[in-house]
Amino acid sequence: MDSIDLEVLKACRQWIDAGLRCELVTVIRTWGSSPRPQGATLAICQDGSVIGSVSGGCIEDDLIERVRREGITRTVPEIVTYGITSDQAARFGLPCGGTIELAIEPLSARSRIAELLQCLERNELTARRLDLASGEVQLARADAGQQLQISERAMTAVYGPRWRLLIIGAGQLSRFLAQIAVGMDFRVTVCDPREEYRDGWQVPGTEMSHEMPDDVVTAMRLDSRSAVVALTHDPKLDDLALMEALKSAAFYVGAIGSRSNNAKRRERLKSFDLSDAQLARLHGPVGLYIGSKTPAEIAISILAELTAVKNGVFLSDEVRVEKAKAKLQPDATASTCGIG
């Protein structure tokens, strides 16, 4: 599964290679309520084919209509604004009078889309600077915290995996978790020293490590854009890695297990000289309570909690697995995975 950015860029490369006219559309500013964030992209071909989204469908319809009626005639980038008036907001479906500003760039071989994709295939976070007057493009390494920048002269957009996820364990649940995370623009590393699990790992776009998990955590130098999820059920693999992760700047550290096993895990981790504040950072039982049963549903539960934490969304105890299950099953102390 490719991320939306990759799908858009790969479509652009195919159209350019086929000699078709096409444009890359990027959200550069929004005011009020907007369905898509800054940096969202869309590619449109001369026949009206579209990949990606900049508004959830309403503005796309207008872009497609214009291309089918007038063709693609731009030779240099253009900044276009939708939704300034209440009539436009109503016409284009922008809620609450929202306004969206787009950069529309005609593409050609000089747009360096193929080179950009090569950088992304090497998992390089890449800044693409577009000269708004000439259409000339420059590529450079980007910093992890770098965001889209726009001025009168240029737009610099950032492409690549801006967030990292380390999954400990290469079982079935890990495969679903990794597949979805790749589609969410995470750079996913899976660690499992057990030969019987790692040999069957086949998830495109992920990295596999055969080292011990705690060594991998240390080597990755986890920062505030990193997350760790332990899924092996094996304390010999999970505990030391969780200890290192909880001491790091990782924004999210979680572990699978029942409520009973989670309590035992916390007791074990206390012996590793973790502070109460560090131990409180552990999300376990991992995930949100959504009634999940299958590995795919459990993966969604985990990523829902991880995403909420990443986006700074407050989660009440009622939606967390431990508290929710305690209410529904007050006498139960264990479950298969401890997932909602």
Residue-by-residue DSSP string for 238-254: HHHHHHHHHTS--SEEE
Number of H-type helices and E-type strands within the chain: 12, 15
pTM above 0.85, yes or no: no
Looking at residue 241, what is its pLDDT?
95
Residue 92 has pLDDT above 70, yes or no: no
Q: What is the rounded average pLDDT of the residues 39-57?
A: 89
Question: pLDDT confidence of 335, banded at 50, 70, 90?
Answer: very low
Looking at residue 89, what is its pLDDT?
60
Distance of CA 294 to the CA centre of its chain: 22
Residue 212 has pLDDT above 90, yes or no: yes
Residue 225 has pLDDT above 90, yes or no: no
Query: How far is Cα 267 from Cα 213, in angstroms, rounded to an integer?
Result: 20
Name the residue among 330, 248, 337, 254 with its Cα closest to residue 291: 337
Query: How far is Cα 164 from Cα 302, in angstroms, rounded to an integer?
Result: 15
Residue 252 has pLDDT above 80, yes or no: yes
pLDDT tens digits for range 281-325: 999 889 999 888 899 999 999 999 999 999 899 888 778 777 777
Q: What is the rounded average pLDDT of the residues 218-224?
A: 92
Could you give the domains of the chain? 4-159 (no CATH), 163-328 (3.40.50.720)
